[in-house]
């Protein structure tokens, strides 16, 4: 079914597919919102533990309660007990090695974990717990609680506690605030987070033995400071770090510290054993209500974990695949260029040729297009103009200017769309080869002869020309120029090596007329009739060539609105055409159409644009997160995530630029100054393409009727023909060379 110029591929008359899609998306969205909202409510609820009863020790390193400015403390039950503690983990770079050392030396330790790190590395946390080490709460985001209000303080503690309870079935009463120095709070701001924690039943664990391993110059320095401070009797709790950066020096120092202090008669224990407690953990309720709550909480934390890891994975995979495509297309484009240099053509091959120009409301540009055809160096070129029911004076303009030119045949028909106009033109000529160009295109005077020479090979069914942007009048058209050179034309070179060019574009292309007639002509059910016909010819076993010397200059959209209309039409039409030929997918019997052409469109024009923005989001998120952590944690923050994001993005941009540079080298007589805009194209222009691709995919799912969406013409492609035409009411038309 076709209504007017609207297409039928993906058309869903009753909207059932769209309703099913909305229902599925809505169900998933509601479920996610419910789980995350439930988790948020649970985190806001305070987890208050039953206070532990411990002997009071005025010199103790563990604060059990805060009353005003008075601290109640507990200490080691044995002066020869030492508790090694690790902050800021778990970290997959350091924690496994530390656990290996502890296991080798049979040393129990206490890990004060950051909640988001636990959620990121759940298996690593399980190993810590299973190997008998104590766990302490070190907030969820490693926030500086001294700068936070009571609500934020409780939120940080609750989030980590809920995570431990829901995912691992444990709750801890041990707590250590981030960024505390020797944990001997004196000011009100220092006391506030400790009071909040102890009021909730936590034991705030200090660290009087602090070698500051995170800034030590060597492992020997860490060993020396630790041994010295222990011997000086500063305390029984040692602070080291397993997160927040490279802890290679700490890992190297750890076995030396253990060995030397054991030789001094010290015994290593967990913090809970140091305090004489049976356990540092608090039992989790196993009631039905509690089990349901923890299950939903676990699902919520899992969603947070996989959303973060998923974005990172997709961003990295997208970058890697994009780089691979850059490399492969660039390599095979070079192969094609040098192979064409050696190719010989039959100069005696001169079939009859007709140029078909379908036109709809093109009165502002049509004369330039026909002029460029009439100065072609190909002999006896027939020009067929088909006015597809224009509402302007397209037909009259052609009549006025070319009535006396025998080469030009001007036809008018009722509006039926571009395919109908082309098919009409096919019936009005007997030429062996037809060159089909858009009515806004100015072709080079040698373009037709360059296209036609390929058909001396009977296997060639169609030839794509080299379309360039002719109206480089503003930033948008210049960015399109870069895309034409670095994307479309470079890809056609590479894809021609494998006979997998997926579109002989409407701007300029040549076809065997008998093939077009035998296939029933151009179809009406897609917005990309040229792509559909190209794929039909490929699956019939014919070859589709590309000629870089067959140059044509087209008028690119000069406004964002027109650009988005055009790109939506191109992308949606290409998706429609490929979907029609999806039966060729990964089927070698159809040649490279199913191995390269169709998969490339499905992945890089449909799927890739849906996820490519995540690569940009990944970079922006890491920049924002780094700024936040720098402000929130001015004395201790990590640039690792940002460095990793910048590393992958820089590699991607390098290959993007390299591919662009190669494209300009391969193309003749191009303006190299445009290369400075490649970065702008990456961050601005391509986002527009992604939006168009997403709109196209949604339109396909929705099954809506999609029309041609005629673009506004500005006649801004400059043209100075080699020949002019003297038009005089008495003398007719005479040809003269300029």
**What is the four-CA torsion angle of 153, 158, 161, 162, rounded to 10 degrees?**
-160
Write the DSSP symbol of residue 209.
B
pLDDT top residue among 654 and 162: 162
On whether both 274 and 365 belong to a single domain, the answer is: no
pLDDT at 132 over 90: yes
On whether both 343 and 240 belong to a single domain, the answer is: no
pLDDT top residue among 12 and 30: 30
Measured at the alpha carbon of residue 497, what is the angle toward residues 496 and 503, in degrees to the nearest 5?
15
Closest of 598, 564, 572 to residue 698, by C-alpha: 572
On whether both 209 and 261 belong to a single domain, the answer is: yes
Closest of 441, 362, 424 to residue 396, by C-alpha: 362
**Mean pLDDT, rounded, for 43-65:** 86
Highest mean pLDDT among 64-78, 317-331, 380-394: 380-394
**Mean pLDDT, rounded, for 270-278:** 94
78 inside domain: yes
725 inside domain: no
534 inside domain: yes
pLDDT top residue among 202 and 678: 202
**Mean pLDDT, rounded, for 303-317:** 84
433 inside domain: yes
pLDDT band at 633 (very low <50, low <70, confident <90, very high): low
Exposed / middle / buried, residue 411 (Cβ in 10 Å: 0-12, 13-18, 19+): middle
* Structural domain that includes position 662: 318-702
* Phi, psi (deg, nearest 5) at residue 90: -75, 150
56 inside domain: no
Residues 212-247 have pLDDT tens digits of: 999 999 999 999 999 999 999 999 999 999 998 889
On whether both 125 and 239 belong to a single domain, the answer is: yes
Contacting residues for 466 by C-beta, under 8 A, at least 6 apart: 489, 508, 546, 547, 548, 549, 550, 551, 552
Give the per-residue pLDDT at 559: 94
Domain stop point among 268, 283, 298 = 283
What is the token pair recorded at 691? 């939006």
pLDDT at 636 over 70: no
H helices of 232-376, where?
Answer: 248-263, 271-274, 288-341, 366-374
Residues 544-564 have pLDDT tens digits of: 999 999 999 999 999 999 999
Query: Coil, helix or strand for 248?
Result: helix
Q: What CATH number did the domain enclosing 232 receive?
A: 3.20.20.370
**What is the four-CA torsion angle of 33, 38, 44, 47, rounded to 10 degrees?**
-150
**Mean pLDDT, rounded, for 298-306:** 93
pLDDT at 181 over 90: no
Question: What's the rounded Cα separation, in Å, for the pair 7 and 361?
Answer: 20
On whether both 239 and 327 belong to a single domain, the answer is: no
Give the per-residue pLDDT at 7: 57
On whether both 277 and 331 belong to a single domain, the answer is: no
On whether both 329 and 262 belong to a single domain, the answer is: no
Give the per-residue pLDDT at 659: 87
Least confident of 267-281, 332-346, 723-737: 723-737
Q: What CATH number did the domain enclosing 611 receive?
A: 3.90.550.10
pLDDT at 594 over 60: yes
On whether both 344 and 197 belong to a single domain, the answer is: no
484 inside domain: yes
pLDDT top residue among 636 and 168: 168
Least confident of 49-53, 382-386, 570-574: 49-53
Q: Which residue has the tokens 């401070």?
A: 229
Give the per-residue pLDDT at 732: 35
What is the pTM for the complete model shown? 0.76
527 inside domain: yes
Residues 595-615 have pLDDT tens digits of: 999 999 888 888 888 887 877
Give the per-residue pLDDT at 512: 98
H/E element, 204: strand 203-205
Domain total in the chain? 2
| 463 close to 343: Cβ distance less than 8 angstroms | no
Residues 457-504 have pLDDT tens digits of: 999 999 999 999 999 999 999 999 999 998 777 899 999 999 999 999
Least confident of 37-46, 417-426, 453-462, 632-641: 632-641
pLDDT band at 728 (very low <50, low <70, confident <90, very high): very low
On whether both 482 and 407 belong to a single domain, the answer is: yes
On whether both 326 and 275 belong to a single domain, the answer is: no
Percent of the chain surpassing pLDDT 90: 62
On whether both 274 and 417 belong to a single domain, the answer is: no
On whether both 346 and 242 belong to a single domain, the answer is: no
57 inside domain: no
């Amino acid at each position: 079914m076709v209504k007017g110029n609207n297409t039928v591929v993906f058309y869903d008359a009753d909207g059932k597919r769209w309703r099913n899609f909305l229902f599925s998306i809505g169900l998933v969205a509601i479920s996610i919102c419910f789980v995350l909202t439930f988790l948020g409510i649970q985190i806001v609820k305070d987890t208050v533990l039953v206070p532990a009863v411990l002997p009071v020790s005025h010199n103790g390193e563990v604060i059990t309660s805060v009353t005003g400015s008075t601290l109640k403390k507990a200490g080691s039950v044995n002066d020869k007990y030492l508790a090694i503690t690790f902050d800021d983990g778990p970290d997959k770079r350091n924690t496994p090695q530390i656990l290996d050392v502890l296991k080798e030396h049979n040393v129990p330790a206490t890990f004060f974990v950051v909640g988001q790190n636990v959620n990121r590395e759940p298996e690593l946390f399980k190993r810590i717990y299973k190997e008998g080490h104590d766990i302490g709460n070190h907030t969820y985001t490693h926030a500086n609680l001294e700068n936070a209000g009571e609500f934020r303080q409780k939120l940080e503690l609750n989030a980590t506690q809920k995570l431990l309870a829901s995912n691992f079935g444990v709750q801890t009463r041990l707590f250590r605030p981030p960024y505390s120095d020797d944990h001997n709070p004196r000011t009100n701001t220092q006391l506030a987070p400790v009071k909040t924690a102890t009021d909730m039943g936590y034991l705030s664990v200090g660290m009087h033995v602090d070698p500051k391993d995170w800034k030590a110059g060597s492992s020997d320095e860490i060993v020396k400071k630790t041994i010295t401070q222990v011997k000086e009797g500063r305390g029984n709790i040692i602070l080291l770090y397993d997160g927040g950066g490279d802890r290679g020096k700490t890992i190297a120092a750890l076995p030396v510290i253990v060995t030397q202090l054991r030789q001094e008669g010290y015994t290593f224990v967990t913090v809970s054993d140091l305090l004489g407690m049976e356990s540092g953990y608090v039992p989790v309720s196993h009631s039905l209500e509690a089990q349901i709550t923890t299950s939903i909480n676990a699902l919520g934390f899992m969603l947070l974990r996989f959303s973060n890891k998923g974005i990172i994975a997709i961003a990295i995979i997208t970058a890697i695949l994009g780089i691979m495509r850059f490399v492969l297309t660039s390599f095979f484009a070079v192969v094609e260029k040098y192979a064409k240099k050696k190719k010989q053509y039959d100069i005696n091959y001169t079939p009859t040729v007709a140029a078909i120009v379908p036109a709809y409301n093109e009165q502002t540009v049509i004369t330039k297009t026909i002029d460029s055809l009439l100065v072609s160096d190909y002999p006896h070129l027939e020009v067929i103009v088909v006015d597809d029911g224009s509402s302007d004076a397209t037909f009259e303009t052609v009549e006025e200017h070319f009535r006396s030119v025998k080469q030009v045949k001007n036809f008018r028909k009722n509006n039926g769309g571009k395919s109908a106009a082309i098919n009409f033109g096919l019936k009005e000529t007997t030429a062996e080869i037809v060159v089909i160009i858009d009515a806004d295109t100015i072709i080079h005077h040698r373009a037709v002869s360059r296209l036609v020479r390929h058909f001396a090979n009977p296997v060639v069914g169609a030839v794509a020309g080299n379309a360039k942007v002719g109206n480089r009048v503003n930033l948008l058209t210049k960015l399109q120029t870069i895309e034409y050179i670095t994307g479309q034309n470079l890809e056609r070179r590479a894809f021609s090596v494998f006979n997998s060019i997926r579109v002989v574009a409407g701007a300029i292309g040549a076809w065997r007329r008998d093939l077009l007639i035998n296939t029933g002509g151009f179809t009406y059910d897609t917005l990309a009739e040229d792509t559909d016909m190209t794929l039909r010819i490929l699956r019939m076993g014919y070859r589709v060539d590309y000629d870089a010397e067959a140059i044509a200059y087209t008028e690119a959209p000069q406004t964002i609105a027109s650009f988005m209309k055009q790109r939506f039409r191109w992308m949606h039409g290409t998706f429609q055409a490929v979907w029609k030929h999806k039966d060729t997918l990964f089927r070698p019997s159809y040649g490279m159409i199913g191995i390269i052409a169709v998969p490339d469109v499905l992945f890089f024009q449909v799927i890739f644009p849906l996820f490519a923005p995540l690569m940009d989001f990944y970079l922006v998120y890491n920049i924002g997160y780094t700024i936040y952590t720098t402000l929130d944690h001015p004395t201790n923050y990590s640039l690792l995530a940002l460095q990793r994001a910048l590393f992958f993005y820089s590699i991607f941009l390098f290959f993007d630029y390299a591919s662009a540079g190669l494209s300009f080298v391969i193309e003749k007589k191009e303006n190299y100054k445009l290369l400075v805009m490649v970065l702008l194209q990456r961050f601005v222009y391509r986002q527009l393409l992604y939006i168009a691709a997403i709109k196209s995919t949604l339109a396909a799912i929705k099954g809506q009727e999609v029309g041609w969406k005629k673009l506004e013409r500005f006649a801004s492609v400059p043209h100075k023909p080699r020949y002019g035409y003297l038009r005089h009411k008495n003398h007719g038309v005479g040809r003269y060379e300029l």
